[in-house]
Amino acid sequence: MSMDLDAPVPMTGLQEQPVVMATILCCNCGAPIDGTASAGALCSECLRNTVDVSQGIQREGTLHCCRDCERWLQPPNSWVVATPESKELLAVCLRRLRGLNKVRIIDASFIWTEPHSRRIKVKITIQQEAFQGTIVQQTFEVEYVVASQQCDDCKKSYTHNTWRASVQVRQKVPHKRTFLYLEQLILKAGAHKDTVNIKEAKDGLDFYFAQRNHAEKMVDFLQSTIPCKMKKSQELISMDIHTSTKSYKFTFSVELIPICKDDLVALPIKLARQCGNISPLTLCHRVGTAINLLDPFTLQTADVTSNTYWRSPFKNLADVTELKEFIIMDIEPLGHSSGRYQLSEATVARASDLGSNDTTYYTRTHLGGILHVGDSVLGYHLTGTIFNDPNFEAIEASNQYGSTIPDVILVKKHYARKKKPKNRAWRLKRMAREYEEEALQQTRRQEQEQDRLEQDFEMFLRDVEEDQELRQTLDLYKARRKPEQDHEMDEDSGSDDEVPKIDMEELLDDFDELNMNEE
């Protein structure tokens, strides 16, 4: 009999047997468990209750927050902006715990944040291998105490001579309306957030910065917002002769164009011809990235950019402090309109002349859409007024424009108001600044200067109420009033019925003020 050695031998009695798991009892509670996968003869419940994988991790911590800028300290020496219960603040909390880097973080969340007691509670879930092949997951709570610590930037703001760059903004005009408007634009864009200090100086403001690039950023914002020119200078502070390392202080001098809204302007005749052959005698009806001029007799407009102005600068003939009140005796529309302006012919008389003489003046105006017989209007009285301005003298001597100089130029409608400012339902934010005090005591002149600043601010608030286009560029906030102030406002509302009212839908809620009042 032959046998094939390569043929497979059939296995009759040798079959592969399945592995049988060894079941044992938990040494702690007696529950049956898998002995091959058990860790120390403990069930999962006893293992979770017996082994503490969070041992060595802090259950209490301290967070440092700056009261001035509300930033949080992130060791070793960096300050981050984080709102309450945000992911940025949660990251700061986790980095403050020692021993957390030895475990795996599964989840972390805020339990509650208490601003009054300065406490923050965080729930953290972690995993760690307790025994070989056994991973334990555990959840625990950590309580943080919020402590106050002043950041380096805020320390510099209270220390003299720590700035490295300054921006000096100046405008040589007798009022502060343009600066008040610029202040609102800065607040809306947050362009002042990097300032170390803000000081009020003569004819302007000084912004101080810890770094040069922050000052250059402010200059770029000013040049993109309002027509101006800039000069740069630097001062050597120190120099290392061994390494040739030098330290400088930089100063950026920004001069704003001395033309403001509602000013009467006499353009050079050559410049007027370049600007679409507009009449040289115009009104400045808006100041934006350029000076927007309006001819009130033809409704023609022209824009004078910053570069064009500084090539051939000119001054205003008169500003808002020289406006006179007139009464509309008769008005007739001419049918020509442009935007919100409507050209009309009007007969006016000075309010101070009523009852003493019958002198009236005939003029054209761009305010035909809002004026009616009997309304009060503010304007410039040119008859008998002497302007010491070469551009105006050239206009008078010109054959083309000399005969077209009017007696009166109307500027805006006048609303009867109380002398004392009323309680408004809205308000504007202001920048925190320091006044450049002199060594002398408070004098009568300084008191008059303060009164003039208050008058300028009240005039600016009235412009905001009366000009809807101006309000669209600003942030107006709801004023928080007491009940007695609401009662006084209701009693006084009858005397200012003609004054334009601001819709409450245009106002914003000031959440910063709400948080401060709650605390």
Rounded Cα distance between 260 and 276, Å, is 22
Q: What separation in angstroms does the CA of 317 have from each of 172, 260, 263, 388, 444?
A: 14, 11, 7, 8, 30
213 — phi, psi (to 5°)? Answer: -65, -25
Q: Can you give the pLDDT at residue 160?
A: 63
- Token digits for 83? 């709102």
**Strand pairing report for 134-148 and 60-65:** parallel
With 0-12 / 13-18 / 19 or more C-beta atoms within 10 angstroms meaning exposed / middle / buried, residue 122 is: buried
Rounded Cα distance between 422 and 415, Å, is 14
Question: 280, 319 in Cβ contact below 8 A?
Answer: no
In the chain, what percentage of residues exceed pLDDT 90? 20
200 — phi, psi (to 5°)? Answer: -95, 125
pLDDT tens for 119-131 read 899 998 888 776 6
* Closest alpha carbon to 250 in 211, 203, 199, 224: 211
Residue 183, helix vs strand vs coil: helix
**Residue 2 clears pLDDT 80, i.e. is over it:** no
**Residue 222 clears pLDDT 90, i.e. is over it:** yes
pLDDT tens for 249-270 read 899 999 999 998 899 999 999 9
Q: Please, which pLDDT band fits residue 1 given cuts at 50, 70 and 90?
A: very low
Domain segments of the chain as ranges: 19-50, 57-152, 159-256, 263-413, 417-431+465-478+499-518
C-beta atoms surrounding 456 within 10 Å = 18
- The answer for residues whose C-beta is within 8 angstroms of residue 252's C-beta and 6 or more apart is 165, 166, 167, 168, 215, 216, 218, 219, 230, 231, 232
Q: Does domain 57-152 have CATH number 3.10.450?
A: yes
pTM of the entire predicted model: 0.67
- Token digits for 229? 């020119």
8-state DSSP, 493: G
DSSP string covering 348-389? EEEGGGTTT----EEEEESBTTT--TT-EEEEEE-TT-----
- Token digits for 373? 């017989």
Q: In what order do the strands lie in the sheet with 195-201?
A: 228-240, 245-256, 165-170, 204-209, 195-201, 434-435
C-beta atoms surrounding 137 within 10 Å = 13
Average pLDDT of the chain?
80
H or E, element range at 185? helix 177-189
Rounded Cα distance between 369 and 275, Å, is 26
Q: Which residue has the tokens 């009212």?
A: 501
Lowest-pLDDT range of 93-97, 211-215, 421-425: 421-425
Name the amino acid, one letter, at 389: D
Q: Please, which pLDDT band fits residue 434 given cuts at 50, 70 and 90?
A: low
Residue 16, helix vs strand vs coil: coil
8-state DSSP, 441: P
pLDDT tens for 143-201 read 999 998 888 777 766 666 578 899 999 988 888 888 888 889 998 888 888 888 888 88
**Residue 5 clears pLDDT 50, i.e. is over it:** no
pLDDT tens for 50-109 read 677 777 788 888 999 988 888 899 877 788 888 888 888 888 888 888 878 778 888 888
pLDDT tens for 365-416 read 998 888 889 899 999 998 888 888 898 989 888 877 767 788 899 999 988 7
Paired with 185 in beta bridges are none
Average pLDDT of the segment spanning 451-464 = 85
Q: Which residue has the tokens 């803000």?
A: 198
Q: What is the largest distance, in Å, between two alpha-carbon atoms of the chain?
A: 155
- Token digits for 318? 């008169």
8-state DSSP, 105: E
Question: 331, 370 in Cβ contact below 8 A?
Answer: no
With 0-12 / 13-18 / 19 or more C-beta atoms within 10 angstroms meaning exposed / middle / buried, residue 227 is: buried
C-beta atoms surrounding 351 within 10 Å = 15
C-beta atoms surrounding 72 within 10 Å = 22
Rounded Cα distance between 273 and 293, Å, is 14
Q: Which residue has the tokens 């296995």?
A: 11
DSSP string covering 307-327? HHHHHS---EEE-GGG-EEEE
With 0-12 / 13-18 / 19 or more C-beta atoms within 10 angstroms meaning exposed / middle / buried, residue 117 is: exposed
